[in-house]
Amino acid sequence: MIRVVITAGAAGIGRAVAEAFVADGARVAICDIDASAVADFQAANPNTIAHVADVTSEAQMGAFFDVVEADFGGADVVFANAGTSGPAGLIEDLEFADWQACLAANVNGAFLTCRWAARVMRPAGRGLIVLTSSTAGQFGYPFRSPYAVAKWGIIGLMKTLAMELGPAGIRVNAICPGAVEGARMDHVIAIESATRGVSPDAFRAQYVAGTSLKTWINAGDIAAMIRFLASDAGAKISGQALAIDGHTETLDP
């Protein structure tokens, strides 16, 4: 029975991935900053570990990982999924605090998660780490520079860790979702459309138009990719930034 640990696992992509692994019979542990979402997840999935933790807090993440180690004795799959969309605006209009908060949630949270994963997986000689980047980690993204920088940073971290940890039998990959349906994307569209002076409906249509398949992505699409990576079929895949996005052509519609 594999042991799966997921940050930001109580809602959205994280929850879809967590519940896919629960359905597969895996032992699953999640953390999330949203206490009500954690409670809802735990009620729906009573045989999991579910903790409230802020991924930017070394102390809170350490407490979560201590519980996981005590119960699971390690981890086979770690999904460093937590992040935030950050502010929207021209670089000259952004607040430094908003910039710092975006990088902290996306990059610092990934560091803390991957550091722990490496520490428990290296002695075992195996494991899979998956990080959440974005198509914003592969393209320029006007009006969203903090998010783009954070997600490009995730790709750099993934590539480096794949090299560091590969000799120990540990695979490291990143997923790069496109526009994923849900509350988070609704928020992104609201702030971007306001910044650019475009109606939310028009901006939503532009996101779809920017993909070759002219489609949105759903959280189940992401879960399917991570289950594949964790399967025997994905056993030789490492160091890859895997886009699940309908083939993004541009992020500047």
Picking from 83, 169, 85, 155, the residue whose alpha carbon sits closest to that of residue 126 is: 169
Q: Is 86 helix (H, G, I), strand (E, B) or coil?
A: coil
The phi and psi torsions of 171 (rounded to 5 degrees) equal: -95, 145
Distance CA 191, CA 131 (A): 25
Q: Among this protein's residues, is 207 annotated catalytic?
A: no
* Residue ranges covered by each domain of the chain: 3-180+217-242
Sign of CA dihedral 144, 148, 150, 151: positive
Q: What pTM was estimated for this model as a whole? A: 0.93
d(CA 116, CA 205): 40
Tell which CATH classification among 3.40.50.720, 3.30.1490.20, 3.30.460.20, 3.80.10.10 matches the domain 3-180+217-242. 3.40.50.720
Confidence at residue 253, expressed as pLDDT on a 0 to 100 scale? 63
User: CA distances (Å), 215 to each of 79, 182, 222, in order?
Assistant: 25, 14, 14
Cα–Cα distance for residue pair 129/80, rounded to 1 Å: 7
Q: Which two tokens stand for residue 141?
A: 């993204």
Q: Please give the sequence-ordered ranges of beta strands (E in DSSP) within the chain, or none if there are none.
A: 3-7, 27-32, 49-52, 77-80, 127-132, 170-177, 241-244
Active-site residue (options: 147, 203, 207, 216): 147
Give 10-residue mean pLDDT values along the chain (253 residues).
97 97 98 98 98 98 98 98 95 98 98 98 98 95 95 98 98 93 74 75 78 90 97 98 92 74
Contacts of 201 (CB under 8 A, 6+ apart): none
